[in-house]
Amino acid sequence: MENNHIRTRLLFFLLGLVLVAFGNALSIISTAGNGLWTAAALGLAQWSGVGISFILMTIGLIVIGINLLLPERFSWLTVSGELLFVLLFSQLIHFFVTALSKKFTVPVALWLRIFLAIIGITIVCLGTSFYQRANLWLYPTDSLTTLLTSRFFNNHFAWAQLVAFVPPVILVTATTFHLHAVVGVQAGTLFSLACNGPLIAYFNKRACPFLRLNSPL
C-alpha cells in the first residue's frame, strides 16, 4: 500500500506528539493514575526533587541508549528522530502541566479525578495511533517494545510488552519503598494497562482512516 504524503505524515506525527503530551499532562494533574512509564517518572521526580520534564527526558535518553544495542543496523535518522521526540515531548509535558495547573481546578471527588485520568489516557492513545501510523519516528519506549518483538520474541508483541514494562515496574517499586507511598499508580494505571491496546486499535480504524500505517523512513 502506498504511503501517505510526507507532509501528511509530518502533520500527524506532530499532532500525535501534542496529543500524547496533553493527555499525559491531564493524567498527571488528575493524581488518579498514569501509564507505567509516566508513573515511574513521577515517582523519581518526587524522590529526587527534579522536575518531571527533566526526568522524562532522562528516561527517554537512557532508553534510546538501550535501543542502540538492539537493532541489526544503525540508523542516524532513527536516533535523531527519537532524540527530537524526547526533547519536544518533555518540554510539551512541562508546558501543559504548568498551564493546566494554573487554569484548571482539579476535582476533589475521586470518581471525577479517575474520569479525568481516563480522558487523558484516551487522548494519549489517540495521539499514539496518529504518530505510529505516520511512522516517522517512535517514542523510545515504543521503539524498545518494537525491537524486542522483532529480535527476541518472534513477533509476539504481548511478551515483548511485558518485558518492556519491567524497568518502569522496578522504578515504581523502588520509589514506593523509598517514599513509603505509591506515586502515579492508581485506577488510571489499570485502565491504561487494560485499554491502551484496544483503544489504539480502535483509533487506527476509526480516527482519520485515510492515514495509513506507513512504511518507515
Cell 515511574 -> residue: 40
- pLDDT per position as a tens digit, 117-156: 999 999 999 999 999 999 999 899 988 988 888 888 887 8
- pLDDT per position as a tens digit, 92-124: 999 999 999 988 888 889 999 999 999 999 999
| Residue 102 DSSP symbol | H
| Domain residue ranges of the chain, discontinuous segments joined by + | 6-206
33: left (phi over 0), alpha (psi -120 to 50) or beta: left
- The model's pTM is 0.92
> Is-contact 142 132, C-beta < 8 A?
yes
